[in-house]
Amino acid sequence: MKKIIFAFLLLLLSSVQLFAQNGPVEMADTLRSNGKIYVVVICIVLILAGLLGYLFSLDKRLKKIEKKS
């Protein structure tokens, strides 16, 4: 029980670090002002679409193998 409470408190305290960013993000502002942020977004979307496509095709193959056996 003590380990669970300790782990919970550790995660709670480590999440406080996520809110430490107060000022503007210079890299994002620069990419946005140059219009390159859209290239970054398109690359991320393409990578995620490829991963999802691969997972769906893998799921189809696994279903086919399960039906055979």
Spatial separation of the C-alpha atoms in residues 21 and 29, rounded to whole Å: 15
Could you tell me the pTM of the whole model?
A: 0.57
Domain boundaries, the chain: 21-68
For residue 44, the model assigns a pLDDT of 96
**CA angle (62 as vertex; 56, 63 as ends), nearest 5:** 90
Helices (H), 1-69: 2-15, 26-34, 37-68
Q: How many angstroms separate the Cα of 55 from the Cα of each of 18, 47, 66?
A: 31, 12, 16
For residue 23, the model assigns a pLDDT of 65
As a whole number, the mean pLDDT across the chain is 85
pLDDT-derived band of residue 2, with 50, 70 and 90 as boundaries? confident
The rounded percent of the chain whose pLDDT value lies above 90 is 42
Question: pLDDT tens digits, residue range 31-51?
Answer: 888 888 889 999 999 999 999
**CA angle (26 as vertex; 46, 40 as ends), nearest 5:** 10
